[in-house]
């Protein structure tokens, strides 16, 4: 499987909550490749992709955080108008429901990378491959 | 084989017990009337003389005593013995106003510790046991009461008091504690910490726990029993009557046997004061018939429960009281509906959430609001916001079914709600600030 692993962390909607998570990341010399924060009035869900998923998940759990690891798709598309629309069309044509997505910077300034969370990874993956979208492997992300 | 601390008393026939109570009550009323001016005035106002009380059948003629009376009479107004004969003072936590102080002669301490010894024996305790007492020691009656009971039984007693939970577990493991005495909320915390430290129930020798001093639910009992690998027994008491040990649970775990040779219970309608028949829910009232220094007659506990004389499989004939549904001052009235925190606790545990929660009540635009902060269950954590909001919604619905009013549920981080080492604080009522 080429899927990337994303770590989600439950954070309270209070001051200094994100600081606590980042402190654990920093103390364990982990590097964040991609990040997004979803928020509600009660809590937030921090989603990150790091260079060492197992270690990050382990140390965050030990620090008392609620953590879950999810397989997501990471793709790279040219930094040009209409490219994200193309990606969404591919998902739509296969009837794959998009939960959320977020962008992150890749190795090249001519391309943009996205983390894509869908309900059906394998259908989406096949559709992307057939549609000529570059899927990033965990190794690709780690080596960025 | 059921073991009793005092088989004669604990299995006495109803007729013999009544005879004993009659004699003791008559003598006690006389003692109180002669020695306590405050009570003498109350009786005179009601037109009752000690001679009018010939047996327990006349109990209803006596005036009630309430917590307000205890505060009025603070500190010495209800003392029935000279201070020179008293050897101990204990006190309530004073969270709801002025402290109440209770006085004990050596006789009073002995009977109190004897009641606790009955409780420990009913929980299977013998001189072979190691009894870890992590109720607070000091003015609070929990620590001193169980400590004394444990000594009487002959258990090796670990007087830990509350707090420093990792050290509690170290002692529990190193010294092979078999019986744990503390508040149920602290027992839950000790269980949680045990597992956080990487231990399982195989690493400890505990077999029983005696938990009281705050209301707790059956669901909380199952959760503690599982977490610590023990059988959890309830114990009841209040500083005003002596402390823990007024009643205690036996192996049947279906209510607490009241030590009727010392305390006569009644259930009354809290609004009218009318005595209710066995089996009806009402306010529990106690008359202490053996205490010397601080003997309360018809003391209104504000605890709501039911009495039952149904035959108990343990062989004890002492009347049983149900787990109090809550102290009437724990009850919240929210949008006109009576709410007990224990009802919310029941739903939380049923739905797989931690029994640590915080209820916040406020009034916004003249409407009461009910917010419940609940620690999210890490095993149900999802990266999708809608899944988490769905959990909040379904929990709110389950609570609404129980209470009849809509709460707002807020999921917070695991273990972010302050753990209690004594009596847990579950409710913040901000409406009082506006009044």
Identify the structural domains of chain A with CATH numbers, from first to last.
4-70 (3.30.2130.10), 73-142 (3.30.2130.10)
Whether the Cβ atoms of residue B231 and residue B123 lie closer than 8 Å to each other: yes
The whole-number average pLDDT for the span B7-20 is 97
User: pLDDT tens digit string along B179-194?
Assistant: 999 999 899 999 999 9
Task: Inform me whether the pLDDT recorded for B96 exceeds 60.
Answer: no
pLDDT of residue A104: 92
* Chain B neighbors of A116, CB-CB under 8 A: none
Measured CA to CA in angstroms, residue B57 lies from B19, B275, B400 at distances of 11, 12, 44
- B156-159 vs B332-334, strand pairing mode: unpaired
> Using CA atoms, how far apart are residues B79 and B184, in angstroms rounded to an integer?
32
The whole-number average pLDDT for the span A8-23 is 94
Closest CB from A12, A64, A68 relative to B383: A68
Contacts of B410 (CB under 8 A, 6+ apart): A42, A43, B371, B372, B373, B374, B392
Is A36 an 8 Å CB contact of chain B? no
Reading the block at residue A26, the tokens are 């920093």
* Chain A neighbors of B411, CB-CB under 8 A: 10, 42-43
The whole-number average pLDDT for the span B50-76 is 94
The rounded mean pLDDT for chain B is: 93
pLDDT interval class at B1 (50, 70, 90): confident
In total, the C-beta contacts within 8 angstroms joining chain A to chain B are 55
Chain B closest-CA separation from residue A30 CA (Å): 20
User: pLDDT tens digit string along B189-238?
Assistant: 999 999 999 999 999 999 999 999 888 889 999 999 999 999 999 999 99
Question: Do the Cβ atoms of B413 and A99 come within 8 Å?
Answer: no
Is A108 an 8 Å CB contact of chain B? no
pLDDT of residue B137: 93
Identify the structural domains of chain B with CATH numbers, from first to last.
1-327 (3.40.50.12780), 332-434 (3.30.300.30)
> Using CA atoms, how far apart are residues B399 and B374, in angstroms rounded to an integer?
12
Is A71 an 8 Å CB contact of chain B? no
Query: Would you call the peptide bond into B75 cis, given omega within 30 degrees of 0 as the criterion?
Result: yes
> Using CA atoms, how far apart are residues A136 and B184, in angstroms rounded to an integer?
52
Task: Inform me whether the pLDDT recorded for A128 exceeds 80.
Answer: yes
Contacts of B15 (CB under 8 A, 6+ apart): none
Chain B closest-CA separation from residue A124 CA (Å): 18
Reading the block at residue B65, the tokens are 């005593």
pLDDT of residue B93: 65
């Amino acid at each position: 499987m080429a899927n990337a692993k994303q770590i989600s962390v439950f954070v309270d909607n209070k001051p200094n909550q994100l600081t606590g998570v980042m402190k654990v990341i920093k103390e364990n010399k982990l590097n964040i490749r991609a990040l997004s924060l979803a928020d509600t009035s009660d809590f937030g869900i921090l989603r990150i992709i790091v260079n060492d998923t197992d270690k990050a998940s382990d140390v965050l759990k030990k620090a008392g955080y609620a953590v879950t690891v999810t397989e997501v798709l990471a793709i790279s598309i040219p930094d040009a108008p209409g490219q994200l629309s193309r990606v969404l069309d591919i998902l739509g044509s296969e009837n794959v429901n998009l939960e959320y997505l977020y962008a992150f910077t890749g190795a090249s300034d001519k391309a943009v990378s996205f983390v894509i969370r869908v309900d059906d990874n394998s259908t989406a993956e096949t559709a992307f491959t057939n549609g000529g979208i570059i899927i990033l492997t965990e190794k690709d992300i780690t080596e960025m | 084989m059921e073991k009793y601390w005092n088989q004669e008393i604990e299995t006495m026939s109803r007729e013999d017990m009544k005879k004993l109570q009659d004699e003791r009550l008559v003598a006690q009323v006389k003692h109180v009337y002669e020695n306590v001016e405050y009570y003498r005035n109350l009786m005179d106002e009601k037109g009752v003389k000690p001679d009018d009380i010939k047996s327990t059948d006349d109990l209803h003629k006596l005036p009630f005593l309430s917590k307000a009376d205890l505060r009025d009479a603070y500190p010495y107004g209800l003392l029935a013995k000279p201070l020179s004969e008293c050897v101990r003072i204990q006190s309530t936590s004073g969270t709801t106003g002025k402290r109440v102080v209770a006085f004990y002669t050596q006789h009073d301490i002995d009977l109190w510790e004897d009641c606790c010894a009955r409780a420990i024996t009913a929980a299977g305790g013998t001189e072979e046991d190691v009894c870890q007492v992590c109720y607070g020691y000091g003015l609070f009656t929990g620590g001193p009461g169980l400590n004394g009971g444990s000594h009487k039984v002959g258990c090796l007693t670990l007087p830990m008091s509350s707090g420093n939970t990792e050290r509690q577990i170290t002692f529990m493991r190193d010294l092979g504690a078999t019986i744990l005495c503390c508040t149920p909320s602290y027992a839950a915390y000790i269980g949680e910490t045990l597992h956080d430290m990487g231990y399982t129930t195989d690493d400890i020798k505990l077999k029983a726990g005696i938990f009281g001093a705050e209301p707790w639910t059956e669901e909380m009992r199952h959760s503690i029993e599982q977490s610590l690998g023990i059988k959890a027994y309830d114990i009841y008491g209040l500083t005003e009557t002596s402390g823990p040990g007024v009643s205690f649970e036996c192996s049947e775990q279906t209510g607490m046997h009241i030590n009727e040779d010392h305390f006569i219970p009644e259930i009354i309608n809290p609004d009218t004061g009318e005595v209710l028949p066995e089996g009806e829910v009402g306010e529990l009232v106690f008359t202490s018939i053996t205490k010397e220094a601080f003997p309360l007659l018809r003391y209104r506990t504000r605890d709501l429960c039911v009495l039952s004389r149904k035959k108990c499989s343990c062989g004890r004939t002492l009347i049983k009281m149900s787990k109090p549904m809550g102290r009437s001052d724990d009850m919240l009235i929210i949008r006109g509906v009576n709410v007990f925190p224990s009802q919310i606790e029941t739903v939380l545990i049923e739905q797989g959430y931690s029994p640590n929660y915080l209820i916040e009540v406020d009034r916004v635009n003249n409407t009461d609001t009910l917010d419940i902060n609940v620690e999210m269950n890490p095993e149900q954590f999802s990266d999708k916001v809608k899944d988490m909001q769905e959990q909040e919604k379904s929990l709110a619905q389950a609570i609404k079914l129980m209470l009849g009013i809509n709460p707002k549920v807020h999921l917070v981080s695991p273990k972010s709600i302050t753990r209690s080492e004594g009596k847990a604080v579950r409710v913040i009522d901000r409406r009082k600030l506006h009044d």
